[in-house]
Amino acid sequence: MSQETPKPSPIHVFDVYAKTAQGRILHFDVILPVNDSERALVSAREWLVSIGHEQASVNAENCCFCHSEVTGPAVMQADIEKQGFAIYKLEGCP
């Protein structure tokens, strides 16, 4: 029996802008294994809490589907497997 190489899992990228309680803008991408806007918003909020910005403002208007890719880097795939999403920091993120 031959073993098949696992097919890469597609990823879906959501562009997010959040405003902190101090008025700073955090720009980041939420990467998911499914194209689900609500899950992207929940994941963005979860990540903001994890970095100490539980009061940051983010809503559906600031969390938009951007694009899909065949697969993502191994580190992102590992984060998705571990916590259900990955974050790619862009501007203003700690």
Fold adopted by 14-91: NE1680-like fold (3.10.510)
Could you report the per-residue pLDDT of 2-32, keeping only the tens digit for each?
566 566 689 999 999 999 999 999 999 999 9
Radius of gyration of the chain measured on its C-alpha atoms = 14
pLDDT over 90, % of the chain:
87
Q: What is the pLDDT of residue 5?
A: 58
Q: What is the pLDDT of residue 9?
A: 81
Mean pLDDT, the chain, whole residue set = 93
Query: From start to end of 20-74, where are the E strands?
Result: 25-32, 63-69
Averaged pLDDT for residues 36-65: 97
Q: Supply the pTM of this predicted model.
A: 0.90
| Per-domain residue ranges of the chain | 14-91
